[in-house]
Amino acid sequence: ESGVGAAVAKSLNGLAKFASQADDRELVMLCRRPGILEALAYVMQNWRFSKLTETKGSFQDRTSRTWMDEEDIHEGWQLVEDELVWCEEVFSKRGAEQNYESSFQNYGICASSILYNLSLHKLTGGIIAKNRYVLSVAIFCVEDLASEDAELVENAGEILLSAAKYLDMSTWKPKPGMRKEDIAPFASQERLLKVVELLIRSQIEMQHKLGCRILAKLALTPANEEWVITFGAKMAERLIELLRMGSRDSRAAAVDAIHSFTQSDSTSCRRFGSCSGCFSALIDALSVASTTFDELGWKSALVLEHLATDSRNREVAKSFEGDIANLAMSKTW
């Protein structure tokens, strides 16, 4: 938190190196140590592109100039083929004439990478999910996705995705008597759902897939129904659009979100069933997935079952009887 470039670089490097070599018990102790997660989130928030652009020049005043004469090494985690692997990135020597913002921005990205990989761990993911400051910073970063670095936005989104399965948004209600200025630095249910909407409506595949996956996990927690069910109805047409027109991975993410709603809420069954193109999009997804039975196929089949067995969708379902029968009798299935 010092703002001194060399100190921040060495601290990030030390944390990442320790975390990569630590056993489960040591990782839990690291995440529970007071101030560690908050310090990483602080760097992530204050050393990112949008914040640096807003405060251009101020970091030159409060940052030691001596670090620019040495070669700083940052080592961090990255997720490669579902494995946490060790990698290192060498920051090249920077001259006074070089862009300060792009140099400092790397520290925000590095901090986000460490938090992201800690959030993936089975024992530390829940600890991060309960840290409202870390989640708030992740939300603030995604809010700036139009102008923020794509890698940092992805890391922030992945932190929210890892936390979503543990998240009970009812705990985010302001306590009686809290002043508006006390609430402002923290994320609210509304801001979280707004970020999810930003991601889902994005035309960038990585972003709308993340949004769909976050929404799917939030919808599975009964305590979130007060906010998520209404929000799901608002996003129904966009989810169906992705299911119908997106890439294979985008369609799988969209049907994952739809499945989470339709399996737990009868109102959502009616809402999605009445949307134009929902049944045809599901049948098309089943046809596409028929050669390789994967998530897109089996979740589309489950959603189709939920919709078709709801009496309020009976008239719409009847018009697709022939297509459903053909799929049911297909040797592939």
Q: List, in order, residues 6 or more apart from 188 with CB less than 8 Å away.
A: 172, 174
pLDDT in tens, 288-313: 775 556 788 888 888 888 888 888 88
Whether 27 has a pLDDT exceeding 60, the answer reads yes
What's the distance, CA 132 to chain centroid?
15
Q: 11-15, 57-61, 223-227, 289-293: which has the minimum mean pLDDT?
A: 57-61
Burial class (CB in 10 A: 0-12, 13-18, 19+), 320: middle
Whether 245 has a pLDDT exceeding 50, the answer reads yes
Whether 29 has a pLDDT exceeding 60, the answer reads yes
Q: 105-114, 194-203, 319-328: which has the minimum mean pLDDT?
A: 319-328
What pLDDT shows up at residue 326?
79
Mean pLDDT for the stretch of residues 18-45 = 90
Of 182 and 20, the structure prediction assigns the larger pLDDT to 20
Query: Which candidate, 227, 175, 166, places its Cα nearest to that of 196?
Result: 227
What pLDDT shows up at residue 254?
93
Record the pTM. Answer: 0.78
Whether 109 has a pLDDT exceeding 60, the answer reads yes
Whether 91 has a pLDDT exceeding 70, the answer reads no
- Distance CA(237)–CA(327), nearest Å, equals 25
User: Distance of CA 52 to CAs 43, 93, 99, 108, 294, Å?
Assistant: 12, 20, 11, 10, 43
- Distance CA(208)–CA(226), nearest Å, equals 23
- Distance CA(214)–CA(33), nearest Å, equals 27
pLDDT bracket for residue 173 (50, 70, 90):
low
The CB-side HSE value for 248 (13 A sphere, CA atoms) comes to: 11
Q: Sign of the CA dihedral 261, 263, 267, 272? A: positive
Tokens 């927690």 correspond to 221
Whether 171 has a pLDDT exceeding 90, the answer reads no
Instruction: Tell me the two tokens of residue 125.
Output: 């993911």
Mean pLDDT for the stretch of residues 89-113 = 57
